Amino acid sequence: MTTRLACFPAMILAVLVIAAAPAAAQRQPRAQQGQATPNNDLWLTSAVGIEYKIDPKWSFHFDLQLQIDRDINRLRTFEARPGFEYALSPNWAVAAGYVQYQHYPTTLRTQRGSFQDLLHRNRFGKITFAGRLRSEELFFENSTLLVRARALAGIRIPIGDSPWEFALSDEIYVDLKVDGTRREAGFSQNKTFVGFGRPISEHLRMSAGYELNTYEQRGRFRNVHQLRLGVAIKLN
């Protein structure tokens, strides 16, 4: 009971972030909201992942993410992703759910739709490996549809006998259906992350690190440097 109560401050923080995000966007000047993110911009991304085990096979997940760009000075995107996961075996699982991206500096602010995951988790000695194939079908406010695929691979390596772990991951985005979205089909983004994490308790884990995002649009590349903070909460 005491361990679960320790998770409540992080849950309360997630709710406050949801409530504060739209209000913060409204306070930004319109001229600043319309500006594009420059090359080599510095972002701050805060993420909260909540997991609830329904039974040995099924679990509910609710992931929240908030991004601040323009050298950590402008609210950019808020993401909410609830979904359900089903374990096919000890190492394989599938998941599906709903996702909404709220983009504050743009005219078409909302993307919403469904996602589907194929997940693989394994251990090689003390090293943990995770892989994910994800598809997303995202509707814009003007009814256009973006279909994209994402492939992620990551490892976590314990640091000696300490509770700390070193984490490394890479994720590739490929746009498949782009009609009316002003995008081109093909490779659109790559994310490379390096960082550290550790469990705080049986139900709470925290992480921090650096992520290099590389965007491609019509043959032009743009880099974004992200500082990432993460909290993972298991409710049971």
Tell me which residue has tokens 């995002």.
213
Owning domain of residue 212 = 2-31+41-234
236 vs 59: CA distance, rounded Å: 10
Residue 36 placed within a domain: no
- Tabulate helix, strand, coil % of the chain (nearest 5): 10, 65, 25
The lowest-confidence range among 17-26, 55-64, 136-145 is 17-26
Residue 129 placed within a domain: yes
| Rounded mean pLDDT, 49-60 | 98
Q: How many domains does the chain have?
A: 1
Cα dihedral angle (70, 192, 161, 208), rounded to 10 degrees? 20
| DSSP 8-state code for residue 73 | T
18 vs 24: CA distance, rounded Å: 11
pTM given for the model? 0.84
| Rounded mean pLDDT, 48-57 | 97
| Rounded mean pLDDT, 78-102 | 97
Please give the pLDDT value at position 35.
52
88: Cβ contacts below 8 Å, ≥ 6 apart:
94
Residue 145 placed within a domain: yes
pLDDT tens for each residue of 178-206: 988 888 899 999 999 999 999 999 999 99
Residue 17 placed within a domain: yes
Buried b (16+ CB within 10 A) or exposed e, 103-116: bbbeeeeebebebe
| C-alpha closest to that of 195 among 223, 235, 159 | 159
Given a contact cutoff of 8 angstroms between Cβ atoms, the answer to whether 157 and 124 are in contact is no
Please give the pLDDT value at position 235.
97
Residue 11 placed within a domain: yes
The yes-or-no verdict on residue 172 having pLDDT over 80 is yes
| C-alpha closest to that of 46 among 76, 85, 91 | 76
pLDDT tens for each residue of 9-49: 545 444 444 444 444 444 555 444 445 678 999 999 999 99
Please give the pLDDT value at position 33.
44
CATH number at residue 49: 2.40.160
